[in-house]
Structure 1
Amino acid sequence: MQEKLYFYYTNDLHSDFEQWPRVAAFMKEAKANKEVTGDSCWIVDIGDHVDRVHPIAEAFMGKANVQLMNELDYDIATIGNNEGITLAHHDLFHLYDEANFQVVCANLHSLDGVFPKWLNNSVIIESKQGTKVGVIGLTAPFNDFYELLDWHVSDPYEALAKHLADLKEKTDIIVILSHLGISEDQEIARRFPAIDVIIGGHTHHLLRTGEKVNNSLITAAGKHCAFVGEVILTWDLEHKVLVDKEAYATDITHISKDVSTVQRQSELELAVENILGETVIQTNSVIEVKWFQHTPIMQRLTDKVRTWTKADCAMLNSGLLLDDFPIGNVTYKDIHRICPHPINPCVVELSGNELIEVTRASFTKEFTELKLKGFGFRGEIIGRMVFSGLKVETDFHDDGQEFVKDVTINGQAIEKDKIYTVATADTFTFGRLLPEIAKSKTKNYFVPEFLRDLLAETLREYYGR
């Protein structure tokens, strides 16, 4: 006799609430069908459900995301870096206090020794026929950020080595909820043959029918819940063996939205107006934002970042601000709309040579017109770089390309071997956008403040009345 076990999952929603009612429709139908057939099923999330780019997530600090998951009867979730490093310690500590589902993350630790009541290393769930499934959660170790917030994320391989053997003795099947990314999932599968399924996320990879690595079936459903994932396990009850593993990702962008979820989100949007509706400043004229031109607001924001971080100089890209500030009342919701990115200020150390090279690179057309996605950036393009503490003299080539002729710092020539502290957006400390910044051995992140918090201070200081 055989039993089928069904897991339906989401990963990397990033607070895309336009898509969430379709997720609700899919999950409700799937669960109803399994109630009719009598099969066991669970709904799980792999992290980055919360993203403070959306005003609902911002206003409720992620707790509305948890409410929406409760309303779909989620069973288990793990956390992603957007839950982990974009919330203050207190906000993450209490994020899942009202969750009706279990939260698993075996490698998240509180540095003060006090752990949230909701945090589990692993959980054991049992099917209607008595088959036991052990579930472990893992998240990516961005400890440069986590430790500033009084958390530590331990090595996921060490966490598995610590918990897997004991859990395997107590269960029939092992499932990992992994917010580590596809490469780490593949390596885990190679190192730990006891794992049956790895449901992944973080790197936004889409595996329509899964991928077999060693003994593990790996699966993931892209990003923003354009797809919903399904894992089907067939267990032989007589011989106590897993005889089949299947994984599918279903495109749900075309299905109808669940009406009750749409209504619920409308109620949350009304609540946002009250929470984020406080006036920050009143203006008599539009505060202009331009992506390819120097503007007073970007200059003042860049100045604020430099003085607030006490750096030698600062640089910010104009694409951080998405729209003009309107005449009249400017609220926190306006500030969030115009600067929605979960981006922190950061100070890096650069040599004079590196600082000059970064400045030159920031004026290239390839850089300013880059349509950036990821690294916390939620805008359209990078835009023109604005500097504070640096005077940059430029000219134009015959083809119209602007180039840097000279750079001075606080009125002095830059010493090529001297080390300077440079404040910027943490975006540039990742990837290869500005390699000198990304490769800097000294990076000091400022958390939990986002750039928009400094933007609010800038508005009050220069435009308030």
Structure 2
Amino acid sequence: MIETIHFFHTNDLHSHFEYWPRMQYYIKEQRLAFSKQGEPSFLLDIGDHLDRSNIYTEATLGKGNVLMLNEAQYDVVTIGNNEGITLDYEDLYHLYEGATFEVVVANLHSKSEGNPKWIKPYTILMTKYGTKIGVVGATAMFPVFYDELNWTITDPKEAIKLVVNEIKDQVDIILCLSHLGITDDELLAKECPDIDVILGSHTHHLFLEGKMIDNVLLTGCGKFGAYTGHLTIQYDHQKRLLIKKEETTIENALLPEVEKEGEFLQSLATKGKELLNEPVFRTSKIYNKEWFHHSNLSRLFAKCLLEFTWADCAMFNAGIFLGGLSKGIITKYDIHKILPHPINAVVIELSGSELKEVLMLSENEDWPLLELKGLGFRGTIFGKLLTYQFSLNDHNELLIGGQIADMNRTYRLVTLDMFTFGYFFPSFKEAKKKYYLPLFLRDILSNYGEKNL
């Protein structure tokens, strides 16, 4: 007997729900049709389903996303970095308590207590014909962030290989839910040929028909729910052999619109706004935002960062502000609207000479109009790079707090975590630094406003 098995899969939705109703309607109809033909099917997600830049996700701290996955009848998911490092320890620990699906992540461990019950290194699915499918999952390495949040993250490829070696004699097919990115997926395919299919994510790569590496099929469906993946496998029971694996992708924008799509999106926005409609502080004046020079809002935010971290100086890009603060009562919703980014503050230790170099680099004329994508940034353009408490005088000497700096002394610069990943300031990557987790920029602003405004 040759059995045909279907796997529908999604990845890197980042709480973009524009196509969610139609894609889930399509998947449901397809699964029903396959079931009538006697062909089993499963539904998988490969992480970063949630993104706290979305007000519904923010208001429910990801529980709303889990509810959606439940309602769509997902079978197995893994977590991405947006689940792993943008929630505080307790919120992640309890995130999947109400899940009706399995969560597989082989390389995440609590530092202070036993793992939550939902964390499993793998699960085994079984079809009605007895075919056993081992599903292992792992998430990307952000060790400094996980450590600050009371988790231990281990090498994902090594964790996957250990699990595969453990289960390969117990199952007929092995799938890997990989929130590692395309480079690690390609390496894993070469290092662990016992895996049949690596369902990929994290780097938002798109393989319309998959990619074969040493008989391991790799998949990837881009980002933001633009595509749904459909993996078809044929298993020969007589030979006990997988004889076919084929990937196709469905462009969700081309699927027929389903009834009340607009109402669904509006209901999420309304629910999120209602939950976040909680007063935080009151302002006595307007704080305007500007993307190409300093503003009332940027000066206020610099005070927030400097007071919160006790740093010597501050630097951030003006494009992080998506709006200003009006006069009067400011709610959680208002603050989220202007600072939706899942970005943390970080203090970096630099010498006076290194800070002077940073100041020179900050004048890059190409950056203000840069349409920045990723790194946690959820805005439109980069904007001017603003500096506070450090500058150059007329003699080209570095001033810190109005005083001429000692070029050999170590100073503390507070900035945004996205600047530590090597793209803008390569020297930050190796410098000594402290990340302030789990607070986002909007939390720092909120805390300052409660105390001082």
Quote the RMSD (CA, aligned, Å): 1.8
8 Å Cα contact 1:25/1:256 also seen in 2: no
Find the aligned partners of 2:220 and 2:428 in 1 and give their Cα distance: 32
Amino acid of the structure 2 residue aligned with 1:131: T
Deviations 1:262-318 (A, max 9, x none): 555544433323320012234465321001121122112112212211222111111
Aligned residue among 433, 442, 445 for 1:452: 442
Give, in angstroms, the shift of residue 49 of structure 1.
0.3
8 Å Cα contact 2:350/2:412 also seen in 1: yes
The equivalent residue for 1:305 is 305
Give, in angstroms, the shift of residue 405 of structure 1.
4.8
Amino acid of the structure 1 residue aligned with 2:404: A
Deviations 1:175-220 (A, max 9, x none): 0000000000010010011010000000000011111111210001
Amino acid of the structure 1 residue aligned with 2:427: E
Give, in angstroms, the shift of residue 117 of structure 1.
1.1
8 Å Cα contact 1:220/1:249 also seen in 2: no
Match of 1:243, SS state, is strand
8 Å Cα contact 1:432/1:438 also seen in 2: no
1:97 to 2:88 alignment: no
The equivalent residue for 2:403 is 412
After TM superposition, the structure 1 stretch with the greater mean CA deviation from structure 2, 349-358 or 135-144, is 349-358
Match of 2:115, SS state, is coil
8 Å Cα contact 1:315/1:386 also seen in 2: yes
Match of 2:248, SS state, is strand
Give, in angstroms, the shift of residue 327 of structure 1.
4.0
Match of 1:25, SS state, is helix
Match of 2:382, SS state, is coil
Amino acid of the structure 1 residue aligned with 2:64: A
The equivalent residue for 2:47 is 47
The equivalent residue for 2:152 is 152
Find the aligned partners of 1:258 and 1:149 in 2 and give their Cα distance: 41
Find the aligned partners of 2:422 and 2:184 in 1 and give their Cα distance: 18
Amino acid of the structure 2 residue aligned with 1:369: L
After TM superposition, the structure 1 stretch with the greater mean CA deviation from structure 2, 428-437 or 122-131, is 428-437
Instruction: Please give the residue correspondences for 1:419-438 in structure 2 after superposition, counting only pairs within 5 Å.
Output: 419-438=410-429
The equivalent residue for 2:110 is 110
8 Å Cα contact 1:105/1:119 also seen in 2: yes
Find the aligned partners of 2:370 and 2:396 in 1 and give their Cα distance: 23
Find the aligned partners of 1:20 and 1:134 in 2 and give their Cα distance: 27
The equivalent residue for 1:400 is none
TM-score normalised by structure 1 residue count: 0.93
8 Å Cα contact 2:18/2:265 also seen in 1: no
Deviations 1:136-194 (A, max 9, x none): 00101101000111111111232123221221111001000000000000100100110
8 Å Cα contact 1:175/1:197 also seen in 2: yes
1:22 to 2:12 alignment: no
The equivalent residue for 2:71 is 71
Find the aligned partners of 1:90 and 1:374 in 2 and give their Cα distance: 26
The equivalent residue for 1:397 is none
Tell me: CA distance 1:169–1:260, structure 2 relative to 1, closer, same or farther (3 Å): farther
Instruction: Please give the residue correspondences for 1:214-363 in structure 2 after superposition, counting only pairs within 5 Å.
Output: 214-259=214-259, 263-283=263-283, 285-363=285-363
8 Å Cα contact 1:22/1:257 also seen in 2: yes
Instruction: Please give the residue correspondences for 1:68-217 in structure 2 after superposition, counting only pairs within 5 Å.
Output: 68-217=68-217
8 Å Cα contact 1:24/1:261 also seen in 2: no
Find the aligned partners of 2:199 and 2:46 in 1 and give their Cα distance: 7
Amino acid of the structure 2 residue aligned with 1:446: Y
Find the aligned partners of 2:263 and 2:103 in 1 and give their Cα distance: 27
Match of 1:207, SS state, is coil
Find the aligned partners of 2:109 and 2:257 in 1 and give their Cα distance: 38
Amino acid of the structure 2 residue aligned with 1:202: H
Tell me: CA distance 1:259–1:459, structure 2 relative to 1, closer, same or farther (3 Å): farther
Match of 2:359, SS state, is helix
Give, in angstroms, the shift of residue 24 of structure 1.
1.8
Tell me: CA distance 1:44–1:181, structure 2 relative to 1, closer, same or farther (3 Å): same
Tell me: CA distance 1:31–1:393, structure 2 relative to 1, closer, same or farther (3 Å): farther
Match of 1:359, SS state, is helix
Match of 1:437, SS state, is helix
Find the aligned partners of 1:38 and 1:26 in 2 and give their Cα distance: 18
Deviations 1:107-138 (A, max 9, x none): 11111132111111100001121111000001
Match of 2:335, SS state, is helix
Aligned residues: 453
Match of 2:294, SS state, is coil
Amino acid of the structure 2 residue aligned with 1:453: D
Instruction: Please give the residue correspondences for 1:375-390 in structure 2 after superposition, counting only pairs within 5 Å.
Output: 375-390=375-390
8 Å Cα contact 2:297/2:324 also seen in 1: no
Give, in angstroms, the shift of residue 359 of structure 1.
1.2
Find the aligned partners of 2:361 and 2:22 in 1 and give their Cα distance: 43
8 Å Cα contact 2:135/2:175 also seen in 1: yes
Find the aligned partners of 2:98 and 2:276 in 1 and give their Cα distance: 22
Tell me: CA distance 1:154–1:278, structure 2 relative to 1, closer, same or farther (3 Å): same
Match of 2:51, SS state, is coil
8 Å Cα contact 1:107/1:138 also seen in 2: yes
Match of 1:245, SS state, is strand
The equivalent residue for 1:401 is none
Deviations 1:45-66 (A, max 9, x none): 0000011000001000000001
Tell me: CA distance 1:278–1:181, structure 2 relative to 1, closer, same or farther (3 Å): same
8 Å Cα contact 1:15/1:51 also seen in 2: yes
Find the aligned partners of 2:397 and 2:47 in 1 and give their Cα distance: 46
Find the aligned partners of 2:415 and 2:283 in 1 and give their Cα distance: 28
After TM superposition, the structure 1 stretch with the greater mean CA deviation from structure 2, 340-349 or 248-257, is 248-257
